[in-house]
Structure 1
């Protein structure tokens, strides 16, 4: 673990200046800066190269502890835990402590004895816990990591990468209990059998030097060098920096975090509510329906770059459409990652009459009915024409007969 600043007499210093190219100037051999909310990488150097993680290992021990144990559960310290040595919280064999107190010792004092006690409480024994650590790392996509112990003391087969530790640090800070503990500068816990309590001091010097700092874990061994997984939050925006094998981990981490805030902005790419798109609708009383974004997407964007443009993609939708039904999505590609925000119908669209008839199977009967009706109309029209023609002929015949009548009578009278 890194020596406490109060012991070294070191005074807080400002972050290192930036070089002329605007990139952060670090002593770290490997480093990365990520956005905690999205996991996007804002800057990196040798982030996938293997390094010894030292006590940053304890982040995984803490994460598994928070996932598996009740903070109020009581743990009995084994002889193995009490004798582990190096950085410790001075646990004694047979001592009983709450899980919460062990977590404080683990993350503040970087206690190796606390790490072993937690490992045995979670998995039953040391080896089972190591297997659990590696399974969890694989689940999290930490492909460059292999654990050999729960505390980070040197082993050639115990390694990680800056990128993997950023993933792990992000997961730790997503657990409220662990986030509160990593931001704690000092804590007092019981010391059974002693007339005084244990005072635990956080080994992360950034907490006392920079108001924005709020985590996460320090690390140091002769082989690993000085390591730090650091978190900071400004105006509700959290960034996480990992600096490995450093000459000055504190200044490196603060420099990288401040560079992130100075060169990026949180930008609302999609806001909940109406969007200027419409989804095509088949077989409906209307041929489209207005949509609204059912969610929000905020992404970090470099100050010298334009924000990404959402791309609307719609499903093949047939009526009826219900209000609030998912009909598509807004797709956003940014910094190598893909995001989607659902699009939902802003109103209902009922099925058209013709589509209702067609889908009900009545179209054949309707066509037959129309054919019969049409035939009847035609027959009626033809019959009407015949009747009219007959009446016309009869009328002509009567007119002719009427016109001959007087002359014929005259001829008969003269005869």
Structure 2
């Protein structure tokens, strides 16, 4: 009987909150439909809200492209998640001889893995990337590439395949602006990665010398855009100029990918501005927000206040606000005793047909019962206190 009442109440609340959703059910919301709102030179691009993972803008964002040193984003996050950051890496002949940008590791030079992560993200060292790959991949760059590809598969990204850790042009090495935006947002949620990519200057030891290596971040966005906090530059002749950028304003963090873009700095700033102004974060569920006064059976009070445990929201354009809906699941009543903070239901936020997330609904206070066992428990508690 209780399950039936729960179902009926849940169904009624779902119908109430879903009315705006029904009106727009036939609409298709695709970030690429807004591509004409921003004029950029990039061949492909994608803009993403880091917290929610919503893609806010796209331009041919699923086209497979060379991505140059943006590859090092996944190299860094795989290295960080390996749990080996404090281990010592020895530079092999393979790493020592790798072509392109370099921090000039000496043959046999030893560095901590974490310092090499700084080296690839600040100075784009291909030698450091190869050394990381060999160490984390158990001596094999190929095994590390397998780890990279396993990570993108884990994230559900299907337009990407990696064959090396640095991004030098190679057959079978490609990604998309969309995939790289999702990957970048994922990486930025890791506090170690986020700290590395926003660092402007880093000193690491220089074995055999009396001075340190001083690595200044190549990412000009850190100096040119207010609130910028990452991420990575990239260039090869075939890939063109590539840039992954991120910035935080008023607690919101956005990340943008531009590929083969001769105006990468300006276009990235333009897209970040677009995201911060065109989309606002609608906090549909607020922590400690009162959701219901729920009747209490056999309790010392008739009703208990039910509140949301956490906040939950989603970035939306003004015309999209009606696509947000909430579904509340609560019983008709609860039986005492009830503990403060006890979960009694949940509230789920939807945008269009997409489920955004679920927050627990909890009791704001404790309620004692009035039944025989509750009274006995209170009596014994009082007796022992005396």
| TM-score category, normalised to shorter length | 0.7 to 0.9
Q: 1: distance between equivalents of 2:78 and 2:176?
A: 19
Query: Paired residue for 2:342?
Result: 325
Displacement of 1:196 in angstroms is: 4.1
1:2-401 to structure 2, matched below 5 A, reads 23-124=37-138, 125-279=140-294, 290-306=305-321, 308-315=324-331, 319-320=335-336, 322-323=338-339, 324-334=341-351, 336-347=354-365
Query: Paired residue for 2:13?
Result: none
**Where does the alignment leave 5 or more consecutive residues of structure 2 unmatched?**
1-33, 375-386
Displacement of 1:287 in angstroms is: 8.7
**Where does the alignment leave 5 or more consecutive residues of structure 1 unmatched?**
1-19, 357-415
C-alpha change, 1:94 and 1:353, in structure 2 (3 Å) is: closer
TM-score normalized with structure 2 length: 0.79
Displacement of 1:285 in angstroms is: 9.2
Displacement of 1:279 in angstroms is: 4.8
C-alpha change, 1:271 and 1:76, in structure 2 (3 Å) is: same
Q: 1: distance between equivalents of 2:262 and 2:371?
A: 77
Displacement of 1:310 in angstroms is: 2.5
Larger radius of gyration: 1
Query: Paired residue for 1:370?
Result: none
Q: 2: distance between equivalents of 1:22 and 1:127?
A: 41
The number of residue pairs the alignment matches comes to 336
Secondary structure, counterpart of 2:260 in structure 1: strand
Q: 2: distance between equivalents of 1:40 and 1:281?
A: 40
TM-score normalized with structure 1 length: 0.73
Query: Paired residue for 2:18?
Result: none
Q: Which runs of 4+ in 1 moved over 4 A?
A: 278-289, 315-318, 347-354
Secondary structure, counterpart of 1:310 in structure 2: strand
Instruction: Verify the 8 A CA contact 1:69 1:99 in the aligned structure 2.
Output: no
Secondary structure, counterpart of 2:242 in structure 1: strand
Displacement of 1:77 in angstroms is: 0.3
Residues 372-394 of structure 1, C-alpha deviation per residue, up to 9 Å, x if partnerless?
xxxxxxxxxxxxxxxxxxxxxxx
Instruction: Verify the 8 A CA contact 2:45 2:258 in the aligned structure 1.
Output: yes
C-alpha change, 1:318 and 1:190, in structure 2 (3 Å) is: closer
Secondary structure, counterpart of 2:357 in structure 1: strand
Bigger shift: 39-48 or 283-292? 283-292
Q: 2: distance between equivalents of 1:84 and 1:175?
A: 29
Secondary structure, counterpart of 1:143 in structure 2: coil
Instruction: Verify the 8 A CA contact 1:30 1:243 in the aligned structure 2.
Output: yes
Displacement of 1:158 in angstroms is: 1.0
Instruction: Verify the 8 A CA contact 1:69 1:122 in the aligned structure 2.
Output: no
